[in-house]
A and B are shown apart, each in its own frame.
Chain A
Amino acid sequence: MTAKSSRPLRILLAKLGLDTHTVGITVVAHALREAGMEVIFAGLKQTPEMVVSAAIQEDVDVIGISSLSAGHTRSLPRLARLLREQGGADKLLIVGGVIPEEDQPLLEAAGVARIFTMGTDTREIARYLNDWWLARLARAEPATRTEPSAPPRQ
């Protein structure tokens, strides 16, 4: 662990569209917080526009979308595109929930880094994010990257 890894990973969790099944996202929020990450909840019934704007405003490292309903084949590619267009290409986009196998290649091609299907162990999600975060910090090391200065938050 480098000194820089002392800044915890910041993740924005959100639900898109009208699906209001929150047990999964709540459990993930608790588990990631327990794993030392900083978790921000964007809310229910979000549009891709709302999530991207919150991600940029909150300067998060990762966006985690929970989906247990339809619509992800349209909304997630749109979210990924908006993220690139608005200067958030370095942010990791992951999704969890009920994602039929046949939809997965489409989402991955659109820019979803990882899909966690229903029943995934939350420790696996934390491990994946932690590995990604350490790799990202290691990559940033040789450059004269300054400590990210996040805006004050509650």
Chain B
Amino acid sequence: MSTISKLVTPTPETAPGDGATSPLAQARASWERETRAPYVAANPDRETPPRSQALRWPVEPLYTPADLDAVGFDYLKDLGFPGQYPFTRGTNPNGHRSKLWTMTQVTGFGRGEDWSKRARFMLEQGLQGLILEYDLPTTNGYDSDDPLVEGEVGRAGLAIDSLQDLKRALDLPFERLRYLMSVCNAPQPVNLAMLIAALEDKGVDLSKFGLTIVNGILIEYTCVGRYIYPPVHGLRVATDCMEYIIRHHPNWAPISIISAQLQPAKATPVQELAFSLTIAMAYIDALLARGFGIDEVAPYFHFVINVDMDFFEGICKLRAFRKMWARLMKERYGATTPEAMRIRTLTSPTTTALTLQQPLNNIGRLAIMATACALGGAGETMSTPLHDEAHSLPAEQAIRVGAAIQHLVAHETGVVDTIDPLAGSYYVESLTRRIEDAATEEIARIDKLGGALKAIETGYFQRALGREQYERNREIEQGRRKWVGVNHLVLPDEKREIKIFRLDERVEIEQIARLRELRAHRDEAQVARLLEAVREAARGGANLVPPCMAAVRADATHGELCNAMRDVFGVHKPDSQLAGM
């Protein structure tokens, strides 16, 4: 992190435009000498110097207008007005005064009917959108009866083998559900085909429903690991899905950059911005190569951004994200419409701040982080994780509390009553700019490597994150950073008193039986023919979604379709360098 260590706050004495002789500098120096120094001599700083959580940048005792001058802060250039370029003060012209964010939670487990039941419960708690997570066999492209997946079916998410499974899951009150986000990256064409077929069969008006597919394969290679094919093919598969949606369902969201997945992999805010934005640019370049224009595709890009417990790193990251996206679209790609420059976001407290120890403390953490999201600009949607996540899949009480946290931030704290209330804070504005400047430098470095795809293929992202993971862990182990319940206020022999949700073991057995039943009653010759059509599209470069759609309608299974593409693309097998170890 050599570049970052250079970026310490300039002292007021060296700040341009505010020489040591200015009245402010003189007053500050005299405060330092006459008032603060004698106090600190008797009461030293608790840490020397305090450092921000992820960036580990030194935090000054006091920020003044000199810090704004030091970064060349210019109100009109750096902030502007809400709903206007560069959107630093928010993408909505009226902040959250007209509309609050859409409140969602992640859910996913079990078979179709298990998921549907839980989703209905969540909608009854006042949520309007749902994020659908699949189990590991599904996200890694296997059927439930594959020998490799034993013990994993329906455990970490919804198990999907066929269109029939998804139709059971989507047995929902669509008049109340506004928004569904599906998280199934590597097998995305198969998942997209199933979602469209299932929604059509349910009679949902596709032009009025909001479907988001995450389609975020490049972050899977970077840190999540649920990849199947080598990166270059992964990008092609993702581009097919984006292209299909833009051409056929232009009101949907074909791509979401889950910056939030970099964050638990210990990316700093600077790395998060640089990696997420260059990954977005790799997708944009792939779409431009298919003949789209930037003003046409940029509005489709959606970001999921987490904040961690460092309040100001999180708030400033959200503000820098909006501004950097706007600037990249305008300056780098020559976008001309405000819609192309306006970022769309889902914000969320991070799960990585939550502890297994003393889980009720996590409710406090979630409330603080949700407040940071609202102060930094929650965007269109906010999702809250749940305080018992470290223990198991969420219990119903945790879901209720998680939903309530968003409502109390929105209705009880007043932080949403005025737009971007922290703007103008010397600390917030100087930190926002320093994060932006460092991320701009990192983007230049990634450009030199050849962009995000090359950075992934050479392991640059992975190794950078591996180093951060080690360093952050060392800070905790050595007690340099306090984490309540982990290395501070530890309860010896702690008894865990929260209710744990446990999945019925029969789920896997029943899911496999159902899959075998499905295979026994379909037209095998037709399935074989349709799978070959998928291989043909994979080889020839035709869009993969239409042949997948035909195949899922004939009950070809999820794993069979992924295997058909494995036959053509091969599989990704990273060594330790590419795994960041």
B573 CB to nearest A CB, Å: 6
- Taking the complex as formed, is A129 at the interface, i.e. its CB lies under 8 A from any CB of chain B? no
Residues on B with C-beta less than 8 A from A121 are: 477
Which one of A2-10, A17-25, A107-115 is at the B interface?
Answer: A17-25
In the complex, whether B322 has a CB less than 8 A from a CB of chain A is no
A104 contacts partner chain B, Cβ-Cβ < 8 Å? no
**Residues of A close to B357: CB separation below 8 A:** 119
Contact with A along B445-474 (1 / 0, CB 8 A): 000000000000000000000110110010
Question: What number of A residues sit within 8 Å (CB to CB) of B?
Answer: 31
A36 within 8 A of B: no
C-alpha spacing A26/B471, complex, angstroms = 11
Contact status B224-A18, CB under 8 Å: no
| Size class of the contact patch on chain B | 20 to 34
Given contacts A23-B265, A41-B581, A44-B579, contact A30 B466 (CB under 8 A): yes
> Are B581 and A123 in contact (CB-based, < 8 A)?
no
**B397-429 interface code vs A (CB 8 A; 1 in, 0 out):** 000000000000000000000000000000000
Q: Does A35 lie at the interface of the complex (its beta carbon under 8 Å from any beta carbon of B)?
A: no
Q: Are A44 and B486 touching (Cβ within 8 A)?
A: no
Provide the residues of chain A in CB contact with B477, threshold 8 Å: 121-123
Residues of B within 8 A of A122 (CB): 473, 477
Within 8 A of A (CB), among B566-581: 573-576, 579-581
Residues of A within 8 A of B473 (CB): 27, 31, 122
The closest CB in chain A to the CB of B486 belongs to A119
- Contact B148–A43 (Cβ < 8 Å): no
Partner of B225, one of A27, A44, A70: A44
Q: Which residues of chain B (375-394) have a CB below 8 Å from chain A?
A: none
A20 and B226 contact, CB distance less than 8 A: yes
**Which residues of the other chain, B, contact A70 by a CB distance below 8 angstroms?**
151-152, 155
Task: Report the nearest B residue to A42, measured CB to CB.
Answer: B576
Q: Taking A31-B470, A69-B156, A122-B473 as contacts, is the C-beta distance between A26 and B579 under 8 angstroms?
A: yes
Instruction: State A23–B224 Cα separation when bound (angstroms).
Output: 10
**Shortest beta-carbon distance from B575 to chain A in Å:** 7
Chain A contacts for B223, CB-based, 8 A: 22
- CB within 8 Å for A25 and B581 given contacts A18-B137, A40-B576, A45-B140: yes
Check if B356 sits within 8 Å of A45, measured CB to CB: no
Within 8 A of B (CB), among A26-62: 26-27, 29-31, 39-41, 43-45, 47
B224 adjacent to A20 (CB under 8 Å) = yes
Cα of A118 to Cα of B354 in the assembled complex, Å: 14
Write the nearest CB–CB distance from B217 to chain A, whole angstroms. Answer: 13
Using Cβ atoms and an 8 Å threshold, which residues of chain B touch A44?
A: 225, 574, 579
Cα A31 to Cα B470 in complex, Å, equals 7
Please name the residue on chain A nearest to B355 by beta carbon.
A119
Contacts of A40 in B (CB 8 A): 576
Residue from A22, A29, A41 with most neighbouring chain B CB atoms (10 Å):
A22
Minimum CB–CB distance from B56 to chain A (whole Å) comes to: 17
Complex Cα–Cα for A69 and B225 (A): 14
Against A, the Cβ 8 Å flags (1 = close, 0 = not) of B539-581 are 0000000000000000000000000000000000111100111
**How far is it, in angstroms, between the C-alpha of A47 and the C-alpha of B580 when the chains are bound?**
21
CA distance A13 to B156 in the complex (A): 23
Q: In the assembled complex, which residues on chain A have CB atoms less than 8 Å from the CB atom of B198?
A: none
CA distance A71 to B136 in the complex (A): 12
Identify which of A18, A23, A29, A123 contacts B148 (C-beta below 8 A).
A18
Contact A29 B581 (CB under 8 A): yes
B152 touches A69 (CB 8 A): yes
How many angstroms between the C-alpha atoms of A44 and B139 in the bound complex?
14
Given the contacts A19-B136, A27-B470, A119-B356, A47 and B148 also touching, CB distance less than 8 Å: yes
Q: Cβ of A74 < 8 Å from any Cβ of B?
A: yes
Quick check: B573 and A26 within 8 Å, CB to CB? no
**Is B152 touching A27 in the complex (CB atoms < 8 A)?**
no
Chain A residues with Cβ below 8 Å from B574 are 43-44
Q: Of B137, B151, B156, B467, which is in contact with the most chain A CB atoms at under 10 Å from its CB?
A: B151
Contact check: which of A22, A69, A118 meets B579 at CB < 8 Å?
A22
Q: Within 8 Å of chain A (Cβ to Cβ): is B266?
A: yes
Contacts of B142 on A, CB cut-off 8 Å?
A: 18
**Min CB gap B547→A, angstroms:** 26
Q: List 23 A-B contacts (CB under 8 A).
A: A17-B151, A20-B136, A20-B225, A21-B225, A22-B223, A22-B225, A22-B579, A23-B265, A29-B576, A30-B467, A30-B470, A30-B581, A31-B473, A41-B579, A43-B573, A43-B579, A45-B140, A69-B156, A71-B150, A71-B151, A73-B151, A119-B356, A122-B477
Minimum-distance CB pairs A-B, first 10: A20-B225, A41-B576, A71-B151, A30-B470, A18-B136, A29-B581, A70-B151, A27-B473, A41-B581, A26-B466
Chain B residues in the interface with A (C-beta under 8 A): 136-137, 140, 142, 148-152, 155-156, 223-226, 264-266, 356-357, 466-467, 469-470, 473, 477, 486, 573-576, 579-581
**Chain A interface residues toward B at CB < 8 A:** 13, 17-23, 25-27, 29-31, 39-41, 43-45, 47, 69-71, 73-74, 118-119, 121-123
Supply 7 further A-B pairs (C-beta < 8 A) apart from A43-B579, A70-B155: A18-B140, A23-B264, A40-B576, A41-B575, A43-B574, A47-B148, A71-B151
